[in-house]
Amino acid sequence: MNHALKLAIEHWPYVATLLRKPQTEDDYGVLVEAIDELLDITGEDEDHPMSGLLDIISDWVEAYDLEHQRMPQI
């Protein structure tokens, strides 16, 4: 088995909530919170090791927003 895959399987319980598309409002909330925390960590450094995760989660949140036609809160 590929070493990277083996590590991913071992750590899956810790990252599973971050690595799936949101299906519910609760899932969405978890990912929005993760985006905020990742932005605090990565700042504007596009080469930061966590920027790929930030991109993936942001895409999923954006897709959820578009699908559910969420309106910005004022």
Model pLDDT for residues 14-70, shown as the tens digit of each residue? 999 899 999 999 999 999 999 999 999 999 898 999 999 999 999 999 999 999 876
CA–CA distance, 22 with 30 (Å, rounded to integer): 9
Domain residue extents for the chain: 14-68
The owner of tokens 């930030």 is 54
Question: What is the C-alpha separation between 65 and 74, in angstroms, rounded?
Answer: 16
User: SS3 letters for the chain?
Assistant: CCHHHHHHHHHHHHHHHHCCCCCCHHHHHHHHHHHHHHHHHHCCCCCCCCHHHHHHHHHHHHHHHHHHCCCCCC
pTM score of the predicted model: 0.81
